[in-house]
Amino acid sequence: MEILRSWGLQDEVERAGMPREDVLAVGVGTSLSADDYLRKAAAIAEDAAQSPTYTYLCSQDVLEVIMRRVAASAADVRFGATMTDLRIEPGGVAATIVADGAATLVRARYLVAADGSRGTVRRRLGIAVEGPPPLGHMVSIMFDADLGFLPPGRRAALSFVRSTPGGAIEAVDNRRRWIMQTGYDPAKGGSAGDFTEEYCLAAVRSAIGIPDHPVDIVGVMPWLQQAVVAAEFARDPVYLAGDAAHVATPQGGFGMNCGIQDAHNLAWKLAAVLRGEAGPRLLDTYAEERRPIAVRTVDESLVNAMITAQMMAGRLSMNEAIEQQAGRRGSEGLVLGFHYDSAAVVPDGTPAPAPADPYRTYVPTARPGHRAPHVWVSPGVSTLDLLGPAFTLLTAPGSGWAGVPGVRVVEVDSAEWAEVYDVGEQGAVLVRPDGHVGWRTRSADHAELEKALDVILSRS
């Protein structure tokens, strides 16, 4: 959401998504209408105090239409086009793109393989994935149903139901559209072909808890539950991003977020190298920075999936299940607290915060490598709104910093900023185009700034 905010999309995504108070709730029960249904919701006031935005749930088909408009304003976006062949050549790639039955050969210096978990580029390069074998053969059943008869206290983004077959009910708009996540076991003779309309209707009605409730099945999609990370994220000139590079379990809602952050990390580096502003070594830092974050994110999604598996197997009581699910909902430590150690970061010798619970607890810090922390600098304006699209130097008013080519100097007049960023009256924080701190100093030394930029941009 912070990245979408930087693209000016926050309001539109908020409107397209679910009401915030509904997003904060999870439930468990034998069915949605069973007496044993328990719901737990976090208080809005506790949600994401350390960000100018919040966790939202917005259906992916709606979100992608919004994002497509922004992409199309900057690039040639083509639908119905398939890359059918790829050759690595000296100095780049040659790809065959087929659209409307016609093949076109496209040559490029770099290729970003964002072709998802079933894409072919990673396999073509012979890059393996690391992680456990597939965790389950899952099926998403999208359906429309009026669940207005449920008491308001049962509105939840996600409800786990131990019906037949059990699974999770996800709210799409929390009014009419829902998705049931369930699955089958091939070892017991199950297959995706079992999910006929009749079977899906029975599964959904059992989850609702009313045998003849009116339900329209909108779509059925089989998918493989996995927790894997590619052994390599890059083999020049090809860079893997999104599910092509890592597949998290859906539990926690991390997969697409992690993929968007890959793109955010890679895009400015590609641009800087192609413009001749950075050395090609900068591109190596993509894998150095993103792969450890992907491993950690996928591991945490696996922990979440194990809780769900235990719950569905009946090894947790309803009370234990709701406590554990609600307890893992807040993941600010994971999603805001991660940091990069790479050649594109100049360390300042300070240690990274080490909270007791690095999954839940985010400790704001402007230490190099970390996401520049959010602080309100004036009503409705966050430090994050001051950043980009190139490098930004944040400093106190009157500190004496002047701009250098490629760096915008922004003076921040805020006591809270001074405390959180911790650079004194003369110091400054150099924030990279992806919002991560690249360098921090407590003295106004322009020569050091030039040197830091040379290091970050791999300029010899």
d(C-alpha 398, C-alpha 418), whole Å? 13
Token pair for residue 62? 């709606």
Pick 123 or 442: Cβ nearer ligand FAD: 123
User: Angle 409-411-412 (CA atoms, 0-180°, nearest 5)?
Assistant: 135
* Alpha helices per DSSP H over 355-395: none
Report yes or no: 38 and 27 within 8 Å, Cβ to Cβ.
Answer: yes
Token pair for residue 198? 């009749």
| Smallest gap from residue 273 Cβ to ligand FAD (A) | 22
Token pair for residue 206? 């059992």
Pick 84 or 319: Cβ nearer ligand FAD: 84
| Smallest gap from residue 255 Cβ to ligand FAD (A) | 3
Phi then psi dihedrals of residue 12, to 5 deg: -65, -40
Pick 204 or 244: Cβ nearer ligand FAD: 244
d(C-alpha 377, C-alpha 373), whole Å? 12
Binding site for ligand FAD (CB under 6 A): 60, 82-83, 114-116, 119-120, 140, 181, 223, 242-244, 250, 253-257, 259
| Smallest gap from residue 115 Cβ to ligand FAD (A) | 4
| Smallest gap from residue 446 Cβ to ligand FAD (A) | 41
| Smallest gap from residue 149 Cβ to ligand FAD (A) | 26
Dihedral (CA of 236, 241, 247, 251) sign: positive
d(C-alpha 181, C-alpha 177), whole Å? 14
Beta strand 38-41 with 25-29 is: antiparallel
Pick 250 or 369: Cβ nearer ligand FAD: 250
Phi then psi dihedrals of residue 114, to 5 deg: -115, 50
d(C-alpha 388, C-alpha 378), whole Å? 18
Secondary-structure percent of the chain, ordered helix, strand, coil, rounded to 5: 35, 25, 40
Pick 259 or 438: Cβ nearer ligand FAD: 259
Pick 10 or 181: Cβ nearer ligand FAD: 181
Pick 181 or 304: Cβ nearer ligand FAD: 181
| Smallest gap from residue 433 Cβ to ligand FAD (A) | 21
Phi then psi dihedrals of residue 167, to 5 deg: 160, -155
Pick 116 or 403: Cβ nearer ligand FAD: 116
Beta strand 38-41 with 81-89 is: unpaired
| Smallest gap from residue 139 Cβ to ligand FAD (A) | 10
User: Angle 212-213-217 (CA atoms, 0-180°, nearest 5)?
Assistant: 110
Pick 106 or 231: Cβ nearer ligand FAD: 106
| Smallest gap from residue 259 Cβ to ligand FAD (A) | 4
| Smallest gap from residue 60 Cβ to ligand FAD (A) | 6
d(C-alpha 431, C-alpha 368), whole Å? 9
User: Angle 429-373-295 (CA atoms, 0-180°, nearest 5)?
Assistant: 105
| Smallest gap from residue 121 Cβ to ligand FAD (A) | 7
d(C-alpha 26, C-alpha 35), whole Å? 16
Pick 138 or 437: Cβ nearer ligand FAD: 138
Phi then psi dihedrals of residue 197, to 5 deg: -60, -40
Report the residue closest to ligand FAD, judged by CB.
242
Beta strand 407-411 with 391-395 is: parallel
